[in-house]
């Protein structure tokens, strides 16, 4: 499930087959949803038998599905080691977005995120990452009665910090972009990060997709408490890495995510400070009404506070939108994903995992 075209060609070479076999097999798996080697009619019975003995095509196990009134779907997937992850499908009039996980839990301990409260167990493999997309695409085709591709956008905004798992995330993205697999454009795949600065250049080199940065504060003092990795990579370093990520492409912008926390980061003075901070960065700001979860100390900013904050940014010339809350009734909204983490090591910034 997680082999990109290059890796699959190498695997086939190990079976004594030509590289073109990868181009035959990828569409069967990812475009047609076929997991039975014998059903792949253009590879021959002999090769199908050898593949049956050598490899499996398997998505994570579906444990539960919840559907909200707005059409948002949340799936809980079981992994072979007893852990579980969550994935969310968000249908809209102009796009169908899948929010996928890249780790079991998260090590970064952001104060307002349910995933962070679960601790960190391990990185997902490329197969487990792509498996979420495979399941969603082919399950939705069945339940919605679609013959054509359902998913139009993929966002790495589920459980985990994707830039601490680039070894598996980059090959997974290669599958998502491959015309023989999902055929998504780079602009329709977005990787979100809390600010793992050294890995941003590696993402740009290995898979230059859209980038979203979880900012949530206009100054280091506040961001140190909300997003602890800021203590290692403060805002000035983060913004310089953002400028470098889009340098040379005048059409590209970094999306900055900003969770609106009542009485914490939603003051008009903080809006003006944020506008000054981002004035030299090609930026788009997503204001995210905070989505509460059990045990949190934070409250969502009032609608009028969010509107006032947005208007200040717009008047400063920043492209700004307020994200519509989706799936909060099934704990599927931004910041609410928790899954099941079987083992919970200490929450530390594991930069060695990049």
Q: What percent of the chain has pLDDT over 70?
A: 92
How would you label 279-317 residue by residue, b for 16+ Cβ within 10 Å and e otherwise?
eebbbbbbbbbbbbbeebebebbeeebbeebbebbeeee
**Does the pLDDT of residue 296 top 90, yes or no?**
no
Q: Which CATH architecture has domain 5-54?
A: Orthogonal Bundle (1.10)
Class of CATH domain 61-353: alpha beta
* The token pair that represents 324 in the structure block: 């519509």
- 55-94: per-residue pLDDT in tens? 999 999 999 999 988 899 999 999 999 999 999 999 999 9
pLDDT-derived band at 351 (thresholds 50, 70, 90) equals very low
136 close to 89: Cβ distance less than 8 angstroms: yes
Q: pLDDT value at position 348?
A: 38
Among 86, 128, 161, 257, which one carries the catalytic annotation?
86
pLDDT-derived band at 328 (thresholds 50, 70, 90) equals low
Active site residue 86: yes
Q: pLDDT value at position 326?
A: 58
First to last CA, the chain: 22
Among 61, 257, 334, 343, which one carries the catalytic annotation?
334
- 211-232: per-residue pLDDT in tens? 999 999 999 999 999 999 999 9
**Does the pLDDT of residue 29 top 80, yes or no?**
yes
- 160-200: per-residue pLDDT in tens? 999 999 999 999 999 999 999 999 999 999 999 999 999 99
Find the mean pLDDT for residues 307-320: 97
Please tell me the pTM assigned to this model. Answer: 0.91
Q: pLDDT value at position 146?
A: 86
**Does the pLDDT of residue 331 top 90, yes or no?**
no
Domain spans in the chain, listed from the N-terminal domain onward? 5-54, 61-353
Active site residue 242: no
């Amino acid at each position: 499930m997680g082999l990109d075209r290059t890796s699959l060609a190498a695997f086939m070479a190990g079976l004594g087959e030509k590289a073109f076999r990868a181009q035959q097999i990828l569409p069967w798996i990812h475009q047609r949803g076929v997991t039975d080697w014998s059903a792949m009619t253009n590879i021959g019975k002999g090769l199908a038998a050898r593949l049956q003995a050598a490899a499996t095509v398997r998505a994570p196990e579906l444990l539960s599905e919840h559907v909200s009134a707005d059409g948002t779907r949340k799936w809980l997937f079981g992994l072979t080691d007893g852990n579980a992850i969550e994935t969310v499908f968000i249908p809209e009039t102009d796009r169908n977005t899948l929010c996928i996980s890249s780790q079991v839990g998260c090590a970064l301990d952001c104060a307002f995120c349910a995933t962070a409260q679960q601790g960190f167990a391990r990185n997902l493999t490329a197969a487990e990452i792509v498996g979420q997309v495979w399941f969603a695409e082919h399950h939705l085709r069945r339940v919605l009665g679609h013959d054509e591709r359902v998913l139009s956008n993929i966002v790495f905004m589920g459980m985990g910090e994707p830039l601490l798992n680039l070894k598996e995330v980059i090959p997974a993205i290669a599958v998502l972009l491959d015309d023989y697999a999902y055929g998504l454009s780079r602009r329709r795949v977005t990787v979100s990060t809390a600010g793992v600065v050294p890995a941003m250049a590696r993402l740009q080199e290995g898979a230059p997709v859209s980038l979203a940065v979880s900012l949530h504060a206009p100054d280091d003092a506040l961001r140190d408490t909300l997003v602890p990795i800021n203590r290692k990579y403060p805002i000035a370093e983060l913004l310089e890495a953002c400028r470098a990520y889009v340098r040379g492409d005048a059409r590209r912008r970094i999306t900055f995510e900003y969770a609106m926390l009542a009485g914490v980061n939603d003051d008009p003075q903080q809006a003006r400070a944020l506008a000054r901070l981002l004035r030299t960065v090609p930026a788009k700001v997503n204001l995210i009404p905070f989505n509460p979860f059990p045990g949190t100390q934070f409250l969502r900013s009032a609608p009028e506070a969010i509107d006032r904050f947005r208007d200040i940014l717009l008047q400063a010339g920043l492209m700004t939108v307020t994200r519509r809350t989706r799936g909060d009734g099934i704990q599927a909204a931004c910041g609410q994903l928790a899954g099941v983490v079987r083992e919970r090591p200490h929450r530390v910034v594991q930069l060695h995992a990049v």
